[in-house]
Structures are given as C-alpha cells and as structure tokens.
Structure 1
Amino acid sequence: EALDKLFPGLGDSPMGETLTIPETARGTSPLVSIGSWPFGSARATAADEDRQLLFYGMGGVVRTLDISDPANPTVVTDDLHTGGLVQELCYDGANQHLLVAAGRGGLEIWDVANPAAPTRLSVTEVIYAGVEAPAVDVDLSDGIAYVAADFGLVHIFDISNPAAPVDLGITGVPDCKHVVIHEPYLYATGHDFGRFEILGPGDIRHLSQESNIAINASVGEVVGARAYVVKNGDILILDLTSAFFPVIGSYSLSGYSFTDLQAQGLDLYAGDAGDGFLVLNLSSPTSPSMIGSYAASGARTVQIVGVRAYTTWAQSADIVDISDPTLPSQIGENIAPASSAYDAEAQDGLVYVADSSKGFFVLDASDPASPFAIGNTTIPGLPLDVTIDGSYAFVASQFEGLQVVDVSDPTNPVVVGSHATPDYARGVDVVGNLAYVADLTGGLLIYDVTDPTDPIEIGSLGLPQGADRVTVENGIAYCATGSDGLRIVDVSDPTLPALLGGLGSTDFTVDSALHGDYLLQANFGGGMRVVDVSNPTHPLQVATFDPPGIIAWGISVHGDIAFLSSASNELFALDVSDPTNPVLLDSRETVGDAFQSFPDGGRTFVADGSAGVAIYQYLQPASTDEGDPVSIGASGVVLRMEGHAALFQLPQRETTLGIYDARGRSVLRESGQQTVRFDPGRSGVYFWKASGDSDGTQTGRVVIVR
C-alpha cells in the first residue's frame, strides 16, 4: 500500500485485472531510470583514424565526433550512455568495438560499426573479494581485456565473445590506476609499479623481483628500458633493467602537476589538468628535456594518434596538431555541454539545472527518455541551488550571491538581476515577492524581489555556522545549518527575522524538506533525520534513517514519499506516511554523485553531479501469480517465453514498451503494434512497462535464465 502512494495508478492494469507472467518473481517496486541527460566533465578519448572518428567520454556519456574536418568536429551521436562515469576508453579497430572503463559501472563493450547508432554488447561488473570494484582503466591485446580496478587490482577478461566476457582471473598491483601493454608485458601502475609477462592470451605471470613497491603512482608509460610514472604531479623515471625498478631520475616544472603520459617514439607528452601539455624529448632517458608545449586550460588526458594529440579537460576535448612536436597547435575543439549538475527543478516538462561549473541550463524533458538542452546561460560564481517562481529562476551562486534569471523564453535564459551576499550563497527559496537566501557566513538573508531585476535586501539574521539550505512556509524559515543542525526563524516580519528555536546535530545538516508538522533533514554524515516542528520553539527529533556509507546531500518529498539523494551515488525512496517510522521502499545506484532530487509529475529529477541529470520513475510491478500467459483488458500486452527470450505482443499502434535492467537502466524501447522479442544474451532480472494513449499502464518483471 505504501508504494501506491508514490505515483498512483502506475501499477494498475487497464481493466483492473491481474497480470500473470511466466518465469517471474514477486518483489518490491523498482525505482527505474527512464532517461538522462548525463553530460559531465570530459575525461577520456579514443580515436578511429581510419574512419576519422573521435570517441569522447564526458560524465555518463561517450560522444562520437566526426573529425574528418578537424577544425570543425561535428557530433555524430550522444546516444552512448554508460552505467557509470566514463574513466577510460579503449578502441578495438579490428572489430569496431569500444571498450569503456565505466567506474562502478564496470566494463562496457559497445558495437560502434554504425557510429550513429551504437549498440551495447555487454556490461561486466568487476568483483574483488565479493565487492564491486571500479573499472578505472582498460587496455586490450589479442582479444583479452585488462581492466585496472583500483583496490581490485587488474582483472583479465576474455572478450572474444564481446556479448559474454569471461573472467580469466586477477593479477596486478594494489590500488591499480593504470594499465598499459607493451608486448609481451603488461605494466600496472598504482600502489606499486609492476611488470607482468603475457605468456599467451590471458596467461600472465608476475616476474620475480620486478616491481617497485609502494611508489603510489597514478599513471605510467614505458619507453625502451625506462618507465615514466606520475607521482604527486611529478614524473619519476624507473630503470626496468634492475631489480625492483629503482627510481633513477625525475622531472618536474614549477606550476605543472602532471596527470597523464603518452609516448610516441622518443617524445613523451605530459598532460596537466590545468596547463595543457609538455613535449619532453627522451634522447637522454634519465634527463628529459622540454622541446615543446601546448598552452590550454588543461589537458587532464592525452592520447596520441599519428600527427594529432587528443586532450580533455573539464570543459572540452581538443584536437592538436603535433606534426612538429616543438610547436603543437590547436586545430579544433568540442565543448562539453555540462560539467557538474548541483541542483535541478522541474516544471511543465522543463528542467532547470544549476551547474556549478557551466552555469544554468534549461532542458526539454517532455519525453523523459530523451531530454535535451534547449537553453543555457553563464552565471557568475558557482551556481548551487535553483528555485523557479513564475517566469524567473532564482539561483544561489557561491561567491556571487543571488542571481535572477528570466526564463520566460526557455531557449534564451537571461540574467536580469543580482545581489551580492557576504560569502557563499548556497540555498534559495522564494515565497511571494520575497527570496530567502542561505549563506555560509551571512546566515539567512531576505530580499524583496518585487522587481526581479533589482533585488533589495530587507532583512537578515546571522547564524553562528551560517546556512546551507532554507525552506520557508507559513512565516517560518527552516535553515539547515551544518554542524549546528537546524535553526528555525520567525520571518512573519521579514525586516526583523527572529530565532525561534533550534536542534543541534552530531552530523552536518545540509538540506531540509517539510512534510506536514515534520521536517525531514539530510545529514551529510548521518542519512536522514525526522524532526517534529509542530512547536517551532522546541523541535524534537523523532526518527532517523542512516544506512552504512550514506553521504546524504539532498531531500525532497512527494506526497508520503521522501527522496533522499546521497553523494555516495545513491537515491533512496522512503515511505514517510508515518514520519516517526520511515520505511525504505527502494534505492537506486546513480551514475554520478546524487546531490539533489526534485519530484514532479510522477517523476523524480536528480541533479547527478558529473553525470548531469537523471530521471527516475517508481514502477510498481503487477502481481506475478503463476499461470498461463494472459492479456489484460481488451487490448493489453501478452507476454510469453520462447527459449531464453521474452516475447511481448503489443496490441496497438499507440503502445510503448520499455524494458530496464536491475540497475534501472533502459535497455530496450519499442512502440507500435508488433511482437517484440527481448533476448539480452545473459541471465538477469528485467523490469518492463507498457503504456498506451488511453488504455492505462502495465508493469511487471521477467527473469531470463540462460
């Protein structure tokens, strides 16, 4: 019954009958990903020189660029969405497959033979000691993928059948960050720097006494008998001819902190996240000399292909001519749409996004499966919170205070007003013609925004620990005040705000949401707490929800359902119909850092940090009593099993079917009167939803066993 409160009717059949599905299991409702705008920081590239394509990872998406005219790279598609943040790419040109090290999303393999329509062939979790380890780098040799998995060492997968990779074992070094193959050796960089002999496909051994212990490097490259590794931003040079690979030299340059290395011949390209890259000549292996440099906003990663270097930094991918390595020069670039979505608010099919690096975006999410940006503008400072009121967006921008954006034309948002705050503006709420701003040192600030182009400060109240977020209702402001927990302020006279009460916290309180006489608070180190504020002068904590490892960052409420977002990459849905006893309904691992969520129109929009915006819906599976397959109502979906496949018979042209994996990621979407065959090629639990223009919605789940 608690689940029915979320988005009523979502689990109902068209005629109120029960759906019977073969080979299914009864269970709770899934929080399902139905769409995303997953753009974030640029991080990795891989090139197909023959087809003049550049694959460019940014957040939870890999953009495909046509670089046949490198001065004007054009987008082929942004449809390659990953289940984790893109960490590294490896291109298999022989098979036209793209391998993606997707962090907690594991190893993904994509068929990019048709670059405009990439197809995911497989997703493989990287498991070490029973725990999911992040895939942070990948290299390929003879049909074998070597995946650096941080604390999970190096995992070896046979991908001769890319739809079903086979785990061959584990080798490598602790805290492995980087792998590179120089036949017949695999070099792994992390806590140690190790060399491993590849005896045959997947047959590998660690050569005796051939590792540098506790070097704690982040990336490595090998040229001849020397290895070059980055440690704390400097380059160390290791002798590969001596036991334990001793350090025999180093290279550093004032102002540079190196993050990536790639060699071509005797030239080593050393990228810096904030200062472009250097070209170092290795004619004297222990004393590299700088022969060229590329000045840019940054080159966090560098890939060399022929006479071009492809670099990424937070904002873009650059194409650099290195035909003369002494004079590298930019010939093209492609800007990442977003970098770090910190807050989002949805209204009437539009999503308004505060991006702490790239400003303010407006997304069209009328089709939640395919949201797209229709407008954006630069906002001074670091936008951290957004509230929509009428035709205006009110943005709290760190360092630059309150910013007012005219969104009457969502394709052309314009900053029309602003007012500085004492320090870090972090939260904003608007009631009537008043804007309430939470400032990290200024506390609570109140502005008259009758004229949005000219906000006027009319009142303020200093708070010892400042304020992170504020929510206002019935003349009372509830301030999340970090280590001070909660401060409740009487703002019935906005010119003279007065402290009513408060409640300390052993954790760091960062956000609040009202639910009747109760305030739900997100605590950075302690999940969610529920506070009875029926007497605002004496608030009382009545309940908590604090699962291990949570880093609660945002809280929102829809009806009796609370959505708790965690920067530890999770979204929780809780039944708070009895606020003194919150009950977990479901949780979902997010691609990025789930900073904030905003429920609207039966959906929840998550500001997912470096993975942009994620859109979720709560699906309530129908009953799954065993029996023969049946249809629901006069024109319902018929489901039957055929071998390892599920066949969905869609009854009419208006029917749309969506299928989602156990992580809530969309894996299939079809429409129209047809029979849809679903065979994912691997065992698993999958959730489905079918809807029509007038015949309601059917939902369920199916277990595929192979």
Structure 2
Amino acid sequence: MKIFPNKKFVLFVIVFIALAFNSFGAGVNIKSLGFYGGTTDYNDVVVSGSYAYVATSNGLIVFNVSNPSAPTKVGTYGTQDRAISVFVSSNTLYLLGSSSGLMIFDVSDPSSPVLLGSYDTPGSAQGVYVLGTKAYIADGSSGLQIIDVSNPSSPLLLGTYDTPGSAWGVYVLDTRAYVADYTSGLQIIDVSVSSSPILVGTYDTPGQANSVYVLGSTAYVADGTSGLQIIGISDISSPRFLGSYNPSYSTASEVYVSGTMVYLAYKDYEDYWAPSRQIIIDVSNPYLPAEVSSYDTPGTTSVAYVLGTTVYVACGGGYYNSSSRGLQIIDVSDVSNPVLSGSYIELPGKSNDVYVSGETAYVSDDKLGFQIIDVSNPTSPVSLGSIYSSVDGVSVSANTAYVVGDFGYGLNIIDMLNPASLVFRGSYDMSVSDLSVSGNIVYAVDGESALQVIDVSDPSTPLPLGSYFGTHSSAQGLYVSGNIAYVSGYGLEIIDVSNPASLVFQGSYDTTAYLGYDVFVSGTTAYVAGSGGLRIMDVSDPTSIEFLGSYAISGWANDIYVSGTTAYVAVEGDYSLSGLQIIDVSDPSSPKLLGTYNTPGDARKVFVSGSKVYIADGSGGLRIIKVSNIEANFPDLTVTNIKASKTLKKGNSYFLTATVKNKGKAAAEVSGVDFYLSKNNNKNPGSVSSDIWINSKSIKALKKGKSAKVTLKWKVPMSVPKGKYYIKAFCDSGSIIVEENENNNVGVTGKVTVK
C-alpha cells in the first residue's frame, strides 16, 4: 500500500525518449484486458445489434442495450491513451486512440473484445470511417490517412492527403471523402485511387468545422461557433451554401443525420462547465432549417448515434458534476418531445492503491472510496461493494481491510465478511504513507521519520505497541518480512520488529539525493523505487548494506512489485510517460528493460498476481493487463564494417557505407545509424560527443543474426579543417533499442585525410 507525498515541491527534469512508453518488449507479451473506474469521459458511441460500443478516455466500453431502460456494461478494453472515435462493421470494431492511432478489434463476443492489429498514424487521430476494406482517418494536422484493413492483423498505409487545416472529422460516400478540416471548412477528396487522393472541392465554412455527415447530395457540418452549416454538394467542384442554424452563445461540436432530422451537439461557449445539449433540427427544407426540440445532456460534451427512433448519447466532461459522464438513451418516436429511456452514469474516480487476493481486487479511490471488485472476468470487472467517499490506501488480511483516509490520514478498519454490506470496526488517529499487515499487527510509516506498530486484535480499540524514529527523513515506503521492517525514504533503513515494544535499528543505506517512494524485498535483495528510478541492494547483512545496481527511469517510480527475476514498476510522469515498466533483475548489477505499457492516468500502484498485473492508475482507474513470455532475450546491434574514401576533398561528395549486424537473441526494431567525423578512433559511445556529426540514416528491423547495409552520401563542408580524421558509424545512438550490450554500437574506419 502506498500513499503519495506532495510532489509539487520536488523538481524533476523529465526527459522524453521516443517510444519509451509504447507497449513493447524483447521476449515479453503485454496484453490489455480491461479496466474499472477512473475519470472516464465518454467520447463517441456506435450501436450494432443489441450492443453500444463507446470510446472513452480510458478505453472501450461495451453495453448491452437490448433493454433501453437499463443499459448494462458487459465488457471493457483498456487503451493506452484516450479513445476518441469508434466505428463498427459487422463483427469488427475500429477504435482511434488520440496518440496511438487505429486499433482493430474482433467483437464477435462483445463482452470480450480481442485486439487484432493496429496502425499508429503520424498525427492526432480524431475521426474514423470505414468503407469496405479501407479505413479513412481524420488525423488532425496530418490530414486524411487511408489505411488498408483487409488484413486486420497488419494494416497498411495506402495514401494520405495533407489538408490545409486540421482534420477533425471524416465521412466517406462512394469514392469521395468529406473532411471537416476545422478552420479550413469542408474538404472534398477523391479517393478512387487510394494511393493518390485528389482534392476535388472545398467550402470554407465561417466557423470551425468539427464534424461532417453526408446524406445524398447534402453535407451537414457542425461548425463550432457558426452552428450547423448545410452545404449542397451535387456539384462537388463548386459546393454551395444552402442554409444554417446557429443557436446563440453556443458552439456546435458533432452532427448526425437521420432522415430529415439533424441531431446537433452544442454547448454554451461562455460557460465551460455548462451541460451540453442535443438539438433536433428539421432539414426537410435545407434552406430553412427549423429547431423541433432539444434536450440537455449531463456532460460538457455529447455525441449522438441514431438508430430508428432511439438516440444514444455519449456524455463526457464536467469534472465537478458527479453524474456528468455516461451513456444516455433517448426515445425520439415523437421528435418534438424527446424522452429519456435509460442511462448509465459513470461516477468519476481516481484509483490510488490496489491489493489483489484470488479473483478479488481491493481498490482505494479518492472519489469513490474503498471498492471491492470482482475481477474473475478481467474484461468486465464488477463492483461487489464500497464504503466511504475518499480514501488513499489499502491493505488486506483475511476478511479485514485496513484503509487509509483521505490525504493519508487515519487508519480505518473494515469488516468485509459481506462485501455488499461493509462494516466499519474501528480507527486509529495517525498519518500513513505506507502500511503492512501481519496477523493482528499493523506496521505503518508516516511520511516523515516514524515507523509505528499497532495492535488491531480488537478492531474497535487499536493500541500502539511501539515506534521508531529513523535517522533518514521522509519515510515513504515500507516492506515487512518476518521480524524485519524495511523503510525507504532518503535512504533505506532496516529495523528489527520482533519485539514491538522495543524496535531495534539494524542498519541503513544513505540516498540523500534520492527519495525512495516504495521498497520491495525478495530474499536478501531490496528493490527501492523512487525519484532516481530503481535501485537494488544486498541486505543479507543489515549492518553492511551493499549497493548492487540501478536502472534509471524518467519520472517518478511510485511503486514496485518483484516476482521472480522480474520487477514491475509503476511510473508517473507527464501524459506520455506514465505507465508500467517491466525490468529483468536476474543480474542486479545490470537490470534490463523487458517491456513497457503506457496508461492514460498516472500509475500509482502495481500488484502482480500470476500473469496478471493490476495498476492503480489515478484517473485511469484500475487497469488489468496480462504479461506473458517473459524472457531476458535482447537484440545486440553492432557495426561490423564501415567504408569511406581514404581521401576526402572539401566541397566534393562521397558515399559512406556501414554494415550493421544484430548479434543478439531477439529481433531489433527499426532504428538508425549516425555518422561522425572524428579526431580519434575511440569506440566508446560517449566519445562522439566531441565529434563532428555528419548525418543519419534509418536502418530496417533486423532479425537475430541478420545484417543490413546503410549508405549515406556526404558532401564535405568547406568549413571542415584539413587534416587526419576517422569516420565513425554509431548504430542506435538514440538508445531506442534495449540491447544485451549498449557499448559495442560504434564502428570506426582507418585514418582518412580531408584536403
């Protein structure tokens, strides 16, 4: 159990490393299963058969809507970033992640979506439309992307069109794609030849084109502050204005058309927290659109999908409104009088901590309180019971939960014999940053310097047994093994707790510049996660703790769980750095990254049970993933040969060639080779810092044992001084690939002369 310190006073420089938090690994398979809770905005919805599929800020949620009065959540899939848009065709679902692009799922069993394949678009994906075997993606600043999805496991880029604005929405009819291009209005693109899309028409709307729907020879655009714009497209080369409808003080964000009715999502742009509204507009006369009715939706954003006389609305936003997120089902059999048939309200939460026993997860949430969740079906977690409104941490022993109150204050004891009716048994007034439970004894550290031991044999009257005030400040993490307690903070302290009334200091290791948020002990090895990443220590002799090795992590390493020779670290950074890092610690002196898994929240706690990993992800809720095929196999790239002319004349061009071989035990992803002009023949990667960089070339993915050549044409600058030099080739200089040996990546020629 981990309670988090106030980090706003701690300064870190977080270095972004490309690909650092994509789900990848050498010899490790990471599979997302499901999620529960979090602050979940509902961003898009589509209905197929009896199921509604919703794209949310935390992933995909599937509802059974056969009974509109009581929609039931039946499945989830946790994505690594915000799911923005969704499209369903038969049993295949297409989901867009704002930064991860297109994901393709098999939803033949809606309760258990299966990821088939993905394609990471270059921009910020906003909208998707699928026609036949092609997916058309409105990709923000990267315009229109056309993807071949005939083989869902291996989507391929067919073509692109760089629109002048920012592509927010797309609708495809026959051989034309209609793109809502924000400040550049409507762009009409001929996609009959996917590899060469051609612009055939434009209409510059007065507002900000957010969404487009096409019916027959008419395009309907949700145009931001200019409301609904109706555009005639019978002559695509010269689209013409037909009519508009613009509610006062509002901005239109989404549009859906059914028959002669337009469903327009809009909200008051002067009040961000005001609820969104759906307006039903009669466009039977496109020159004179008329409002028929409207209804408020609870969130600050809403997206509608219409099927027959039923409207399904995905509602998001409105952080301060506890009922602002979720799915609403509206009966519009009488369009002049929309009636709410049913709804599913998603209460906003932030998961702080998780403890798992068997098929039950115990979660502390600073919005939803202490939650007991059935995770026997990880794609569809179900709440069994809850208590309190805001808690920070939890530990469990048998049928009793020890729950830490809001902001890490107060220990509360809960009887869980009946999860549906949890019973408060007692409390103890104290500050807690981490705790451990053994039988009737609770061990807790207070975030400052104290370790306390509490007797909870009588839950109604917890009694202090003893305390220890350490020499290191900010006691954050705690691990108790037998009669020994390990406390992490600005150092690691080891305390004998065999006699709670007289706790005895055994030894310590000073990490003054390094704050350890959590500690995990396996055998005689202690693993400390904190502001400096992961540190590993031999604690076989507490009086003489020996430092074994470390692994640098960008961001805050909040929590750690070690299983066998694998360490699972919950890392919180900026929006692109939070998630799970899986590290091979079989050789403590040289830990190696096996894989990473990004999360949409801020990973605070990790718990491992078998092959399943549970992450308390703050606003991302409880995330459940499966990790398998963990093997410490890595690629190993080295330059086996480098060729260059022995004489180089300034102002002339020459070819530089390097051969790169993967000598490792696993395949290497696409990387690059950097060429340098150097005064030395030092092959140490650090030696190039003083060299003259020439240029770089990409190198294809390499299977183990395979080689590839790269050739660079270089014109020797006139500014290079005459003299004797060496040419260096440095493969994977950006450390994109995790390798067996990171120090053999540089190859050097013999001497060359610059004249």
**Equivalent residue, structure 2, for 1:599:** 608
**Equivalent residue, structure 2, for 1:199:** 190
**Equivalent residue, structure 2, for 1:387:** 395
**Equivalent residue, structure 2, for 1:396:** 404
2:77 and 2:131 mapped to 1: Cα distance? 25
Q: 1:84 to 1:263 in 2, by over 3 A?
A: same
Secondary structure, aligned partner of 2:276: strand
**Equivalent residue, structure 1, for 2:559:** 554
Q: 1:208 to 1:467 in 2, by over 3 A?
A: farther
Give the drift of 1:487. 6.9
Equivalent positions of 1:218-233 (< 5 A) are: none
In the alignment, structure 1 residue 347 sits paired with structure 2 residue 357 = yes
1:494-521 deviation line (CA, Å, top 9, x unaligned): 7999999784565664332234565423
Q: Choose the corresponding residue for 2:314, options 293, 311, 314.
A: 311
**Equivalent residue, structure 1, for 2:747:** none
In the alignment, structure 1 residue 529 sits paired with structure 2 residue 535 = yes
1:445 and 1:136 mapped to 2: Cα distance? 52
Equivalent positions of 1:200-599 (< 5 A) are: 200-201=191-192, 202=194, 204-205=197-198, 235=225, 261-262=254-255, 268-270=264-266, 276-279=275-278, 294=296, 296=298, 298-305=299-306, 308-313=311-316, 316-321=326-331, 330-335=340-345, 341-363=351-373, 372-373=381-382, 375-381=384-390, 383-399=391-407, 401-409=410-418, 413-419=422-428, 427-431=434-438, 433-437=440-444, 447-455=454-462, 468-472=476-480, 474=483, 476=485, 478-480=487-489, 485-486=490-491, 488=493, 503=510, 509-515=516-522, 519-523=526-530, 526-530=532-536, 543-546=549-552, 552-567=557-572, 568=577, 570-576=579-585, 579=588, 581-584=589-592, 586-590=594-598, 594-599=603-608
Q: 1:412 to 1:249 in 2, by over 3 A?
A: same
User: What is the total number of aligned residue pairs between the two structures?
Assistant: 567
**Equivalent residue, structure 2, for 1:616:** 626
Q: 1:515 to 1:535 in 2, by over 3 A?
A: same
1:460 and 1:102 mapped to 2: Cα distance? 49
**Equivalent residue, structure 1, for 2:663:** none
2:129 and 2:430 mapped to 1: Cα distance? 49
Give the drift of 1:87. 0.9
Q: 1:370 to 1:585 in 2, by over 3 A?
A: same
Q: Choose the corresponding residue for 1:123, options 117, 125, 128.
A: 117
**1:511 aligned partner, one-letter code:** D
Give the drift of 1:310. 1.1
Give the drift of 1:469. 4.0
**1:394 aligned partner, one-letter code:** Y
Give the drift of 1:684. 14
Q: 1:684 to 1:396 in 2, by over 3 A?
A: farther
Q: 1:74 to 1:170 in 2, by over 3 A?
A: same
Give the drift of 1:591. 5.6
In the alignment, structure 1 residue 187 sits paired with structure 2 residue 173 = no
Q: 1:396 to 1:154 in 2, by over 3 A?
A: farther
1:583 and 1:207 mapped to 2: Cα distance? 56
Give the % identical residues: 20
Q: 1:37 to 1:83 in 2, by over 3 A?
A: closer
1:392 and 1:259 mapped to 2: Cα distance? 51
1:519-561 deviation line (CA, Å, top 9, x unaligned): 423235x4323356789899886532125x5653321123443
Equivalent positions of 1:664-679 (< 5 A) are: none
Q: CA RMSD in A?
A: 5.7
1:566 and 1:451 mapped to 2: Cα distance? 37
1:352-379 deviation line (CA, Å, top 9, x unaligned): 33345444444556x6877854623133
Equivalent positions of 1:615-694 (< 5 A) are: 615-619=625-629
Q: Choose the corresponding residue for 1:139, options 125, 129, 146.
A: 129
**1:385 aligned partner, one-letter code:** G
Q: Is the 8 A contact 1:84 1:591 kept in 2?
A: yes
Q: Is the 8 A contact 1:361 1:373 kept in 2?
A: no
Give the drift of 1:228. 5.3
Q: 1:368 to 1:323 in 2, by over 3 A?
A: closer
Equivalent positions of 1:48-87 (< 5 A) are: 48=47, 51-57=49-55, 62-74=60-72, 77-78=74-75, 81=77, 84-85=80-81, 87=83
Give the drift of 1:331. 2.4
1:313-365 deviation line (CA, Å, top 9, x unaligned): 47532223467788765321235599654432233454333345444444556
2:471 and 2:219 mapped to 1: Cα distance? 61
Q: Is the 8 A contact 1:380 1:397 kept in 2?
A: no
TM-score between the two structures when normalised by the length of structure 2: 0.58
Give the drift of 1:144. 3.8
Q: 1:222 to 1:127 in 2, by over 3 A?
A: closer
1:441 and 1:221 mapped to 2: Cα distance? 56
**1:403 aligned partner, one-letter code:** N
- Specify every segment of 5 or more residues in structure 2 that has no aligned partner in the other structure, as ranges: 1-24, 232-237, 239-243, 317-323, 634-667, 670-700, 704-755
Q: Is the 8 A contact 1:110 1:121 kept in 2?
A: yes
Q: Is the 8 A contact 2:86 2:95 kept in 1?
A: yes
**Equivalent residue, structure 2, for 1:7:** none
2:445 and 2:491 mapped to 1: Cα distance? 12
**1:156 aligned partner, one-letter code:** I
2:34 and 2:66 mapped to 1: Cα distance? 29
**2:313 aligned partner, one-letter code:** Y
Which one scores higher on RCO, CA 8 angstroms, separation ≥ 6? Answer: 1
Q: Is the 8 A contact 1:150 1:174 kept in 2?
A: no
2:247 and 2:500 mapped to 1: Cα distance? 60
Bigger radius of gyration: 2
2:584 and 2:527 mapped to 1: Cα distance? 12
Give the drift of 1:394. 1.8
**2:559 aligned partner, one-letter code:** G
1:505 and 1:497 mapped to 2: Cα distance? 24
**2:315 aligned partner, one-letter code:** T
TM-score between the two structures when normalised by the length of structure 1: 0.62
1:605 and 1:396 mapped to 2: Cα distance? 19
Q: 1:519 to 1:103 in 2, by over 3 A?
A: farther
1:199-258 deviation line (CA, Å, top 9, x unaligned): 134454568998899x9x89556899996566xxxx57799999xxxxx999997xx9x8
